[in-house]
Amino acid sequence: MAKTPLHTQILSVPAARQDESPLFGVLPAEIRSSIFALALTDYPDPTPDNRYAAETCYTRPHYFAPRKSDTALLRTCRAAYAECWFLPFMLHEQTHWLTAQDRAPPEYRANVTQAALCSRLQLIKDQREDGEVVEIEGLRVFAQMYRLEGAALASLLRTPHLRPRRLTLTIRHTDWWHWESDEPLRFEAKWIPSVCEALPDSVREFCIELESLECKKDQVDFVAKEMREKWFFKRTDGAVLCPDVTGANVEVSRWSGTSRWNNRTWTRDETAPGRIDYYVVSVPFRLQYAVERKGGGVSDDAIRAAGSNDWDMRRVFDVRKMKIECIPGQGR
């Protein structure tokens, strides 16, 4: 006979009354939830032995080690456990690498990780008294172009009960087509309809991060500008996520990393011996009212899509028109 999991055992017994505890007897549930969230939010593991090697393409700011959560709070009492046992998972930024294996951290295995994600989401749904699906804070995806265009992101979004509030897609310098040959940046749009067919109504923001070399700054800026003018996303409930065509809400960042990766030094791309400087532009897509509330504006194409009742995403999106290509010699 299978042994009942400890988690199930704890939840099967009602928690003792906590009337004398200020946490449960005085503070309202909303404030208590904020306190629990601060205590259970994940962070990069600071243990030196767990840091990723510097000479990889997945080591970068905020991603220099596996992320972890401190769960001591869940062991304090049954009442605390019952109220927030699922928070470490909900607050943990679910990070996936849709890449070749050598472009992802060693602990990440796509099939295993995605199967575990599906299992955990089902468990949380089953254990909640209201049977509601829990929305997670963030889903971050690092994707090589060949996997993105091969519908890998759409497949991930079809994971049962996966409802992220924020979706971030990062295209790194080594994810672009033919970066090894220093070809001009280009971004196909054929993957957008399939993603929209799976994009849940929980997503309030879809942010696309575009990274390349500092010397390709003009190309990155061009791709971001074209994206703001041509692109939008339509959720499964028909709501449209739009970029700000004015560019006022675009975020720019920079960072520097090693020029050595996979036993090769990329001298061509160096800014200084052993160093490569990266330039990153983030383009957020939000609901029209959220864009306009920040003083921005949306494109006519996005407005037309929002008013369309056509559910065939391949008719909604003109992927040939939405394709973005830089010209040879631009920004290098």
Ordered DSSP codes for 14-63 = PPPP-TT-HHHHTS-HHHHHHHHHHHH--EE---GGGSPPSSSSS-BTTB
**99/143 Cα distance (integer angstroms):** 6
Q: pLDDT digits over 250-307, tens only? A: 899 999 999 998 889 999 999 999 999 999 999 999 999 999 998 999 988 788 777 7
For residue 16, give both structure tokens.
Answer: 């003792």
Residue from 210, 102, 98, 209 nearest 155 by CA: 98
Mean of pLDDT over the chain: 88
DSSP string of 245-277, one letter each residue: TT-TT-EEEEEEEESEETTEE-GGG-SBTTEEE
Residue from 165, 76, 158, 63 nearest 108 by CA: 63
Q: Tell me, what DSSP letter sits at residue 9?
A: H
Q: What percent of the chain stands above pLDDT 90?
A: 51
Residue from 157, 58, 52 nearest 100 by CA: 58
Q: Scan for tokens 């019952």, then name that residue.
A: 82
More confident residue, 102 or 216: 216
Q: Tell me, what DSSP letter sits at residue 184?
A: P
Q: pLDDT digits over 73-130, tens only? A: 888 888 888 888 888 888 888 899 999 988 999 888 877 788 888 888 888 777 766 6
- pLDDT of the residue at 220: 97
Task: Give the 3-state secondary structure of residue 156.
Answer: helix
**150/313 Cα distance (integer angstroms):** 17
Q: H or E element: which one contains 174? A: none
- pLDDT of the residue at 89: 82
- pLDDT of the residue at 281: 97
At residue 1 the predicted structure's pLDDT band, cuts being 50, 70 and 90, is low
pLDDT of 215 higher than 90: yes
- pLDDT of the residue at 282: 97
For residue 74, give both structure tokens.
Answer: 């869940």
Task: Give the 3-state secondary structure of residue 69.
Answer: coil
Q: The pTM is what? A: 0.88
